[in-house]
Amino acid sequence: MCGIVGYCGPGPASEVLLEGLKRLEYRGYDSAGICVDVDDELKVIKKKGKIKDLKEIVPEDLDGHSGIGHTRWATHGEVNDRNAHPHMDDSGKVVLVHNGIIENYEGIKRRLKKEGHTFLSDTDSEVIAHLIASLYQGNLEAAVRKSAFLLKGTYGIAVMHRDEPGTIVGIRNGSPLVLGIGDGEMFLASDVTAILAHTKQVVYLEDKEIVTITADTYRTSDYYEQEIEKKIESIGWELEQIEKDGYEYFMEKEIWEQPESILRAVQGRIDREGATGHLGGLNMTPRQLLNIKRIYIVAAGTSFYAGMVGAFLLESIARIPASTELASEVRYKNPVVEPDALYFVVSQSGETADTLYAMRELQRKGATVLGICNVVGSTIARESDGGVYIHSGPEIAVASTKAFTSQISVFYLLTLLLARMRHLSFEDGLEIVDAIEKVPDQIKKILEKTDTIRSLAKKYARYTNFLFLGRGLNYSVALEGALKLKEISYIHAEGYSSAEIKHGPIALINETTPSLFLVPDDKLRDKVINNIKEVKARSGKVIAVAVEGDNEVAGIVDDVIWIPKTNPVVYPYLMVIPLQLFAYYCALELHRDVDQPRNLAKSVTVE
């Protein structure tokens, strides 16, 4: 949610800022703006709508070499020009951009109004600009530091002052902020993708840290004026990875990248000689792993459904009780931490606010919490007690695809590791290893035959309600498929266990509500077929994702999408690909904005 870019250097600030904001579009936003220091005046230009709308009103001759920019996702105040960032105090001297939520802004605003301040927006963010202006006594960093003790909430902030040209101060508390170090130029951003075109050398700020930058220098310190020596890290991504590379949409590219992203997730982590997984980042000894009595997986959205796959695998194969919990609910129920339990938090970005807060609450209660995330240097990666990177590469589209299959890859490896330490035989472990190693090529075969799915999207895209149904391991895949369709096509869809259809959802069945069934050739296949027959008996239309050669399924459904035969344990990999494609093609058919669906943000950094 929201994006920040800051720049100090010799280049044209407006161009750097607009380019950076363009690369942050995937995070979700509804307005954008920039501020450029021009001849010691802070020139603010902001606009409701897309970056292209902002670019149209930025003068081509806007001269200036330092500035800040922002993409806003509305929380306080409606979507309009005046609520867009950057915000300025009424003296015109302080300008800032802000990600996060200030919980006590109303009280601060009342006090500042009594002191004579006039507010122009309905946002909580504008309050910070006025507060810093009221505390300013010739040193911007000092004023920002003082303001930090008065603000309650989460924030990533970049701020400028008219009397300190060429200087930007950034501060982080609960909302990501990264410093980029270039050759005679410095950058601030909420996400490394904004600055990857200019530098790979970065410093990740921790909570309650402040950075002050000019073109040639940076200084990091804490709230108590203590300087902090920060480690400079190198971004592992290449610029080409965050570009479309000939695809129409990032989502399309990321679906097609899954054979490679799954390979990256498992490469070097499969031990064929031991028929097991190897996950060194867990930071746990074999004895500690053997002593685990229960596993909890905490996540949100698509990561939650990947966690459901993981919990099922761990319980059914490793024989360890496992469950998945919604991150947003964990800390508010005062969770009971069990001494022999292991906790995993799952987040593609590593910055998901609900998941991060849940992790911290569990750690406060003494839990060992391991992270599963994609972004190196993210907050969860730094603050967890260990964990695993999924190595899926940048995921730009708001709707997650390749991260899901990479996350479940980690859970397959974890399951193998723990199961082989307990009771799983070498032969059974090797069968799972063999099946996992074949998955990338099997996904390629599905991707080579997308015409059927595209034609089904044309046929079904005008329906307004869908049911997605699966059993066992594939129940969570059905939930994920329904989420994808909702997210990017805006078609209402619900996921259920197909066994639950007779406990309520069957009331929805008619000729205008299609059902999409997942039918692997596993031990629950016959039961799923009986559920299909129940739907067909009530004039329901049925699409099935089924295993090649299953003529019985083909004979009773309206349409079928074929997937290759594999070990029943790994069908979630193959089942989810047609669902991603179906959602994608339905969205295209309905002319939706596939990469930036309405009201959604890629990285949900506020509660």
Residue 386 structure tokens: 């260990």
Per the model's pLDDT, the better-predicted residue between 293 and 26 turns out to be 293
Give yes or no for residue 601 having a pLDDT over 70.
no
In a domain, 101, yes or no: yes
Same-domain status, 69 and 206: yes
Number of domains in the chain: 3
What is the distance between the alpha carbons of residues 306 and 406, in angstroms, rounded to a whole number? Answer: 9
CA distances from 172 to 106, 310, 450 (A): 21, 33, 45
What mean pLDDT is predicted for residues 429-443? 97
Active site residue 602: yes
Same-domain status, 12 and 42: yes
In a domain, 598, yes or no: no
Same-domain status, 312 and 221: no
In a domain, 457, yes or no: yes
CA distances from 464 to 461, 485, 486, 493, 579 (A): 8, 11, 10, 8, 17
Q: Which residue has the tokens 């001849």?
A: 39
Same-domain status, 397 and 516: no
Mean pLDDT of the chain: 94
In a domain, 605, yes or no: no
Same-domain status, 30 and 170: yes
Query: What band does 501 get if pLDDT is binned at 50, 70 and 90?
Result: confident
Torsion, CA 207, CA 208, CA 209, CA 211, rounded to 10: 110
Catalytic pick from 2, 8, 35, 373? 2
Same-domain status, 426 and 282: yes
In a domain, 158, yes or no: yes
Q: What is the pLDDT of residue 394?
A: 87
Same-domain status, 269 and 362: yes
Of 235, 255, 282, the position where a domain reaches its end is: 235
Catalytic pick from 109, 484, 486, 602? 602
Same-domain status, 13 and 130: yes
The single-letter DSSP state of residue 231 is -
What is the distance between the alpha carbons of residues 247 and 259, in angstroms, rounded to a whole number? Answer: 16
Give yes or no for residue 149 having a pLDDT over 70.
yes
Beta bridge partners of 87: 96
Angle at 575 between CA 375 and CA 296, to 5 degrees: 50
> pTM of the entire structure?
0.83
Same-domain status, 526 and 394: no
Tell me, rounded to whole angstroms, the distance of Cα 260 from its chain centroid.
Answer: 20
Same-domain status, 7 and 77: yes
CATH number, domain with residue 548: 3.40.50.10490
Q: Where are the alpha helices (DSSP H) in 9-124?
A: 13-23, 51-57, 105-114
Write b or e for each residue in 117-132: b if 16 or more Cβ atoms lie within 10 A of its Cβ, otherwise e: bebebebbbbbbbbbb
Of 444, 477, 509, the position where a domain reaches its end is: 444
Q: What is the pLDDT of residue 238?
A: 72
CATH number, domain with residue 128: 3.60.20.10
What mean pLDDT is predicted for residues 40-67? 93
Give yes or no for residue 37 having a pLDDT over 70.
yes
Of 181, 208, 235, the position where a domain reaches its end is: 235
Same-domain status, 487 and 533: yes
What is the distance between the alpha carbons of residues 508 and 489, in angstroms, rounded to a whole number? Answer: 20
In a domain, 604, yes or no: no
In a domain, 362, yes or no: yes
- Which range marks the domain in which residue 365 is found? 245-444
Query: What band does 603 get if pLDDT is binned at 50, 70 and 90?
Result: low
Q: What is the pLDDT of residues 238-297, one digit of tens each?
A: 766 777 888 999 999 999 999 999 999 999 999 999 999 999 899 999 999 999 999 999
Same-domain status, 332 and 436: yes
Q: What is the pLDDT of residue 223?
A: 94
For residue 500, with 0-12 CB atoms within 10 Å meaning exposed, 13-18 middle and 19 or more buried, which class applies? middle
Q: If you count DSSP H runs as helices and E runs as strands, how many of each does the chain have, helices first?
A: 19, 26
Give yes or no for residue 607 having a pLDDT over 70.
no
Q: Where are the alpha helices (DSSP H) in 267-300?
A: 286-290
Query: What band does 505 get if pLDDT is binned at 50, 70 and 90?
Result: confident
Cβ count within 10 A of residue 153: 17
> Averaging pLDDT over each range in 36-50, 272-286, 468-482, which range is the top one?
468-482
Share of the chain above pLDDT 90, in %: 84
Residue 409: closest CA among 280, 309, 518, 274: 309
In a domain, 606, yes or no: no
Poorest-pLDDT segment among 43-47, 398-402, 499-503, 581-585: 499-503
